[in-house]
A and B are shown apart, each in its own frame.
Chain A
Amino acid sequence: MTFFAPFTIPFIIGSLVMFSVLLVKYILWIVRLPRIDKRLILHNIFTTKSLMAVWEIIRESLLHVRIFRINPVLGFMHASLAFGWFLLIVVGWIETIAYIGGEWVPLHGHVFFKYFMPINGITEHIWFFEQLMDALLLIVLMGVGLAWSKRLRSRLMGMRRTTKHILFDRIALTSLWFIFPARLIAESLTAAIYGGDGFLTGSIGTWLSETLPSNILLNLYEPSWWIYSSLLGIFFITLPFSRYMHIITEIPLIFLRRWKLKPTTERKSYDRFEVEACSRCGICIDPCQLQSDLGINDVQSVYFLRDRRYNMLTLKVANNCLMCGRCESKCPVGINLNTLRLNSRAKRRNIPYEGRYRYLRGMDRSSGEGRIGYFAGCMTSLTPGVQRSMESIFRAAGEEVWYADKEGGVCCGRPLMLTGETDAARKMVAYNTDLFRRHNITTLVTSCPICLRVFRESYHLDGIEILHHTEYIYRLIAEHRIDLRDDGRTFAYHDPCELGRGCGIYEEPRKILNHVGHLAEAKHNRRDAMCCGSSLANSVINDAQQLRIAQRMTEELEATGCDTIVTACPLCNKAISRVSTHVPQDVAEVVAKNILN
Chain B
Amino acid sequence: MRNLNFGYGISRPRVINLDNNDLRKSNAIIAEMPELQACIGCGSCTASCTAGNLTDFNFRRLHTAVRRGEYQGAYEEINKCMLCGKCRLVCPRGINTRELIMLIKRKLGDF
Contact = CB atoms under 8 A, between A and B. Distances in A.
Say if the two chains contact directly (CB < 8 Å): yes
Contact of B50 (A348, A411, A424): A411
Q: Which are the 7 A-B pairs with shortest beta-carbon distances?
A: A543-B94, A359-B55, A411-B82, A408-B53, A539-B99, A378-B84, A411-B84
Contacts of A360: 54
Contacts of B102: 348, 419, 539
A359 B49 CA distance: 15
B25 interface: no
**Residues of B in contact with A, size category:** 20 to 34
Name, among A419, A539, A571, the residue most crowded by chain B CB atoms within 10 Å (CB to CB): A539
Interface in A502-545: 534, 536, 539-540, 542-544
B80 interface: yes
A310 interface: no
Given A379-B86, A539-B102, A542-B94, A351 B80 contact: no
Contacts of B99: 539-540
Interface in B24-51: 35, 48, 50-51
A379 B89 contact: yes
A410 interface: yes
Contacts of A424: 79
B62 interface: no
Interface string A344-375: 00011001010111011001010000000000
Contacts of A534: 89
B79 A356 contact: yes
B8 interface: no
B54 to A, nearest CB: 6
A539 B98 contact: yes
Contacts of B48: 381-382
A382 B50 CA distance: 12
25 contacts: A348-B105, A351-B79, A363-B54, A378-B50, A379-B86, A379-B89, A381-B48, A381-B86, A382-B89, A408-B53, A409-B50, A410-B50, A410-B54, A413-B82, A415-B82, A415-B84, A415-B85, A416-B82, A419-B83, A424-B79, A534-B89, A536-B98, A539-B99, A542-B35, A543-B95
A440 B77 CA distance: 34
A230 to B, nearest CB: 46
A243 interface: no
A419 B106 CA distance: 12
Interface residues of A, number: 35
A574 interface: yes
Contact of B54 (A351, A359, A536): A359
Interface in A411-462: 411, 413, 415-416, 419, 421, 424, 428
A573 to B, nearest CB: 10
A378 to B, nearest CB: 4
B79 A543 contact: no
A468 B89 CA distance: 22
Contacts of B19: none
A421 B86 contact: no
Contacts of A415: 82-85, 98
Contacts of B64: none
A524 B13 CA distance: 59
A363 B51 CA distance: 12
A465 B41 CA distance: 43
Contacts of A571: 89
Contacts of B86: 378-379, 381-382
Contact of B83 (A353, A381, A416): A416
A539 B50 CA distance: 18
A534 B76 CA distance: 28
Contacts of A356: 79-80
A534 B94 CA distance: 12
Given A353-B76, A357-B82, A543-B94, 20 more contacts: A348-B102, A348-B105, A356-B79, A356-B80, A359-B80, A363-B54, A365-B54, A378-B86, A382-B86, A408-B50, A410-B54, A411-B82, A415-B84, A536-B98, A539-B98, A539-B99, A540-B99, A543-B95, A544-B94, A571-B89
A382 B96 contact: no
Contacts of A410: 50, 54, 82
B90 interface: yes
A571 to B, nearest CB: 7
A547 to B, nearest CB: 8
Contacts of A543: 35, 94-96
Contacts of A351: 79, 110
